[in-house]
Each structure stands twice: as structure tokens, then as C-alpha cells.
Chains A and B, each alone.
Chain A
Amino acid sequence: MSLNQKRRVFLKGSLAAGTLGAAVGLLTPGAVLAAWNKNAFTSKNIDEAIAGVVGNPVTTPSKDITIKAPDIAENGAVVPVSVSTNMDGVESITLLVEKNASPLAAVFHLPKGSLPDVSTRVKMGKTSDVIAVVKANGKLFSARKGVKVTIGGCGG
């Protein structure tokens, strides 16, 4: 099978999965299982945004959450971010960009038994921490990673 054929089959498969809502990570964030949480997504305040999604802004920092994101973004308009964790009983993963005008970027609701490993792209206006909030067994955990957005140029 050629590369293109393979990709096409993959794409078809993933579209089907999206429709059925079966494959976590391929879902459009928040689109399938939850209604559009307008208050949280338009909130200008990070605590309000977190509370709007998981009910409470207080989280415990955890080293069991891995955020994969570039140290310096190649393009601030589409910054690839992945969040994974080895915790059990993960119900949701919430992704925020601290310095964005509206910090809440994505919410992933994970059906029971799903692998807690999600990826998306976020828009970043300027250098900021990316924050991941994981809700597992009713408890809230978080991690953060700095992503620099730069004008670029002048490399040696």
C-alpha cells in the first residue's frame, strides 16, 4: 500500500471513529460528549475557566502528567500540545494557555477505559505556560510547561 493510500484509509477510519465517538484523541474537543461550555471557554480568568469545566479551581501539581509541547513555538497560531498521564480513573483532561485572552483551549472528556493521552493544537498570542488539568477519580491534578512565542530571525 502506498503512503497516500495508507493515509487515506487512516483518515477514513478516523472519521468513522469520530462519528461514533469511540476513539479518544481523535475527537474534536468537547464536541461529542459535552455541550459547548460557553462560560468556561470565553472566561478571561484562569481560575474561573478551570472551575467552569471541573467545578473547582484548586488543583494539586503532579509529576505524573506529561505535557509535550515545543520549548519555542515554530508557529504561534498552531502549537502542537500533547498531554498524557499514567493515572487511573481519568475522567477529563483540560488544557489552558495561561496568557491567552481566553485561557481555556480544550476539554477532553474520557470515557471509562480510555487511554489518557490526548493531542491538539492551540493558538498562542504570546509566550505563556500551557496548563493541563487532569480529573481522576474525582480529584484534580495539574502540570504546566512554558512555551515561548518569538518574532524569530537572527539565528547564527
Chain B
Amino acid sequence: MTISRREFVKLMGLAGAAGMLPGSAFAAAKKPSDLYEIPKFGNLCLMHMTDCHAQLNPVYFREPSVNLGIGPAKGKAPHIVGKNFLQHFDIAPGSIESHAFTYLDFDNAARKYGKVGGFSHLATLVKRLRAERGDGNSILLDGGDTWQGSGTAYWTRGKDMVGACNLLGVDVMTGHWEFTYLDKEIITNIGDFKGEFVAQNVSVNEEALFDYRFPDFSGFDEDSGLAFKPYTMKSINGMRVAVIGQAFPYTPIANPQRFIPDWTFGIQDARMQSMVNQVRETEKPDLVVVISHNGMDVDLKMASRVSGIDVIFGGHTHDGVPRPVEISNKGGKTLVTNAGSNGKFLAVMDLDVSKGRLKDYRYRLVPVFSNLLEADKDMQAYIDKVRAPYKDKLEKKLAVAGETLYRRGNFNGSFDQIICDALNKVNDAQISLSPGFRWGTTVLPGQDITMDHVMDQTCITYPETYRREMSGEEIKAILEDVADNLFNPDPYYQQGGDMVRLGGLDYVCEPAQTMGKRITNMTLDNGSKIEAQKKYMVSGWATVGSKSPGRPIWDVVADYLKEQGTVKVKKLNTPKLIGVKGNPGIAS
């Protein structure tokens, strides 16, 4: 059953009247007649979107059933899933919010409430909020991962998204996957972007400074060596708001350095502190906020170490967190948010600010249900135009989903298993490796799998596949390395992303162990133990160090899908976990 907007409004009214919603993070003081009726508060409004991964059209997106917190992060936001999530954030089971924020009853609820996101629906919501807040009283921030994740973004080198963001009216952005295009393309795209691109933690490295290739780029500052403008000042309803940018600190490690050889990143929290101090001293701001692509755990740690920031609007880890986390530091308090992914949410923070002080705030992470928000005509026309040259290719049906196909989760997702099976089959390998990205949308059982879906699971600028022999020892080293990037108890040593996905190989994982001791009992599908010195034929994609020789992954997956008809996961290669019993970050 799919419900219409009118039916939905009626339902919400009934639910409110029947007392089904009280206590919900969304239930405002008065009964909501409409999910998008967000009462005004204070004197300025900051809207924040992040990690849309170029999803211009509405999609399905299943939230994770495994998002483990290890060490001090155990049981704390964002490492809570399912029923524990509902309880922690006071969300009514079975409600539309429960569907938006958790994987619970996903298939049924997805059919009932329909798709999420889509820029034309998002545009309608943004316009409505802008109008309600009044002219000049709000701005729209984008945390990045905007130019990558779809076929059209890849083929236009991110330009389709620059155009869409200009139409949407994004005021300030920072980046991560933006840096996976060539540096000269990034510089051109930022030039075409009508908002501002900020990043305090990207420098031109010392060798490149001698003969820098973009000396005339307006964001470059020769004296500081920063490649981009570190912050910008915005006047909102007469208040001076500083917006500092924090790009993904580990871009040249998690993604190819060869596309951006002149730039060096890092968390740079000492520089962040001096930036905040300098901004507070020289700009006399009423509010200081950061748009960050650190990932939520890194933001939480940074907020405890750096003082003077009022709000960190976070992204990268794709955590849809309904309430900001308040972190105390020596300067007072910093709010930390994370706003989900794939265009599914718009964060709306209304703030009461005066004379350089944040007095109070209201925050909502609003799910964008495309059936409940009319498509904005201008944006829809733009999207249609962008897609037109690629439409036939993208909408080509390849197979039918025999079950829910999704990616998100610490370990293997069902769509990842299809990718791994495709690699093993098409490339004739024993073991396949597929990166644990957190983007990639969901396909419902019975739904056609199109090239659009394949592209939104695989679309990167280094898509080449490989097939080569690796020893058991090498495979274990890779697994241990990625596991440490995910489960190191110190967030500054994490890179975000999830565990590498395996095809044809099972293992046992103990996340709370130390590096080198998390992965044990590696076995092939036939049950034989992996031997350290023995060689195995391995296939994979997304190599960071150098370009692989094989065909792009999407062609491999498309070939495989075309042979399948109806696609079902034959065997999910997901690890047996040790020591996670009772952890609220895993479905019980």
C-alpha cells in the first residue's frame, strides 16, 4: 500500500489525536498536522544536508542493522540501531519516523511510505522553510559527498550536482568525494558553484607550493598555504555567523592521492582551534559553526578538544541522528549533529542568538518523503534535462530483485554480496573484495534492478577491477587494516566507511580486539581453512594506490545481473562476531 499526501496528513492527525506520537522527537508542542510543519523558533535558521551522493531522484534507503560502537563509543549515538534506537530517541514503534531512522520492518514500511529524497522534493521543502523563516533569516549548508554517487555525476564529472546545488541555493559546502575528480576539475567546479567552498584542513604541500598549478584560484592563500578558503562570514537576520569548513581529513588515504597530488589533509584540530580563536577575535561573530566531513565519532572527539564552536554540522558516517549530542569542553558546550545520507534527510536547526551568544535552539532531522512533498517544477525540469542523454542506459532493466538488496551496515550487505559474487563469477576468482562504502541505495523485493542502481552502488572515478593472486597472509593483513580503521577505539585513527566486503570467504571477527588480532578462522566457502603462505585468486575493485587493469566494476556487475533473471543472495559471507552480545549497535 502506498499512501498519498492527503491520506498521510489525515493519518498524522489521527495519530496525534490518539496520543500515538507524544514523546517523539518530532512531536512538537502542538499536534502536527503535517510532518513538515516545523514551528519557528529564535531568530535564525540553519538548514543542513550532507552526503546526498548525487541522488537527484528519490530512492529507497535502508538504515543499518549493524553499527557497532567499540570502547567508549559503545551504546552511544550514533552506534545504536533498531529498537534500541527508537527507545533512545523516544520514537514510536511503527511510526513513519521509525521507518525513516531504522531498518525495522523495512520492506513493508518502504512500500507504505514510498521513496525518500530527490532534489525536486528537497527543493520544495527548502523553499517552504525559507519562506516560513522569512527572507534573509536562513541559510543552507552542505557537508559534501554531493558530486559523486550516480551515473550522471560520474559522466558529467560532478557538474550535474553543481548545477542542482546552485538551483537549490546551497550557500556553503565542504567536501570529500568531491576530491576524487582531478584537481583541475575540482577547481573548475568550485568556480561554477554559486555558494562558497570552505575547508580549513586542506593545504598545498611544500613541494607543490614552489610551482603551484592553481595560483589564481580565489580560495588559495599563499601565506597560509591553504588550498581553499577556510571559513566564510554570513549575515543571517542581522547576526554574524562564521561557517568554518572541515573536509574529510583522510581523503588522500581513503581515496586516490594521484588525482590531487598537491593537497595534504589531516584533522588539524590545533589549526581548527587557532582558526576559531582568530575568527572570534577578528570577525566578532554572533555564532561559530563548522560544516564537517570528519564523521561523527571524530566530530565528537574534536568537540571535546576544540573550544569556541557552537555547532558542528557533521556528515561522512551517514548517521541519521535525530538529536544533537552536547559535548562539554573548556570553552563551554558544542553541539554535534549528523544528518544521514542519500538525500533522505534535511536537518533544520532554529537558533536563538544574540550578542555573540547561542541562547537556545530547536533541532529536527526531517525525513524527505517524496510522496509527501510535491516535486519542484524547476528542479524537476533540470534533473530531466541532466538525465536525458543517459536516460535509456540508466533505466535499462538488468534483473529483478528476489530480496531486499542494500549495502549499509558494518559488514556485508546483500547488494555487496551480489557485487562480490559477480566478481568471483565473471573474473573467475576464489575470493572477492569490495569496499565498505556507506553510500549505495536499496532495491525492494520484486523491484527491477536498473543500471541506475548498479551505478549508485559502484560509481567512482577509480572503478577498474583486478584479478590477482594473494597469499592468505596478505588477505588477513587487508582485513585487519580495514577492521582497525573501523573499530580502533580512538576515532582519530578511524577513516569511516565499513568493513571490506568478502565473497567466497568467511571469518570470525572480534571488534574489541587490537590490530592484528581481530580476524581469525578465515575459511573458503567449501570450509577449507585459509593458509598464510598459500596463494588464492582474488578479484576486487576500487584500488587506491594505482589504476587496476580490468573493466569497470559496473560492467562486471551488469553482465552478472543480466544472466540472473531474479537475483537472490545464495550465501551471505558475513563474519561470525565475538564479544558484541548486548551491544545496542547490532540487531538482536
Binding site for B on A (CB under 8 A): 2-4, 6-7, 11, 68, 70-75, 127, 146, 148, 150-156
Contact = CB atoms under 8 A, between A and B. Distances in A.
B515 A72 contact: no
Interface of B: 176, 209-212, 215, 222, 248, 250-255, 257, 264-267, 270, 316-318, 435-439, 477-478, 481-482, 484-485, 488, 492-493, 495-498, 500, 515, 542-545
A148 B493 contact: yes
B543 A153 contact: yes
25 contacts: A3-B215, A6-B222, A70-B266, A71-B493, A72-B493, A74-B264, A146-B493, A150-B484, A151-B478, A151-B482, A152-B254, A153-B544, A154-B435, A154-B437, A154-B482, A154-B498, A154-B542, A155-B251, A155-B253, A155-B254, A155-B437, A156-B317, A156-B437, A156-B438, A156-B498
B481 A7 contact: no
A154 B500 contact: yes
A40 to B, nearest CB: 28
Contacts of B253: 72-74, 150, 152, 155
A153 B210 contact: no
Contacts of B248: 155
A25 B255 CA distance: 32
Contacts of B439: 156
B250 A7 contact: no
Contacts of B545: 152
A7 B207 CA distance: 10
A138 to B, nearest CB: 30
B452 to A, nearest CB: 21
B495 A155 contact: yes
Nearest to B543: A153
Contacts of B437: 154-156
Contacts of A2: 215
Nearest to A119: B206
Nearest to A66: B270
Contacts of A73: 253
Question: Main secondary structure on chain B at its contact with chain A?
Answer: loop
B265 A74 contact: yes
Given A3-B212, A156-B317, A156-B438, A72 B250 contact: yes
A75 B318 CA distance: 27
Contact of B267 (A71, A150, A153, A156): A71
Nearest to B318: A156
Nearest to A75: B257
Contacts of A11: 210
B209 A7 contact: yes
B210 A156 contact: no
A145 B148 CA distance: 35
B489 to A, nearest CB: 12
Contacts of A3: 209, 212, 215, 222
Contacts of A72: 250, 253, 493, 495
Interface centre among A4, A127, A153 (most CB of B within 10 A): A153
B261 to A, nearest CB: 11
Contact of B481 (A4, A146, A150): A150
B255 A155 contact: yes
Nearest to A68: B270
B411 to A, nearest CB: 13
Given A3-B215, A152-B254, A154-B254, A127 B496 contact: no
A68 B438 CA distance: 31
Nearest to A154: B435
B494 to A, nearest CB: 9
Interface centre among A70, A75, A154 (most CB of B within 10 A): A154
B382 to A, nearest CB: 28
Contact of A4 (B210, B270, B495): B210
A39 B211 CA distance: 39
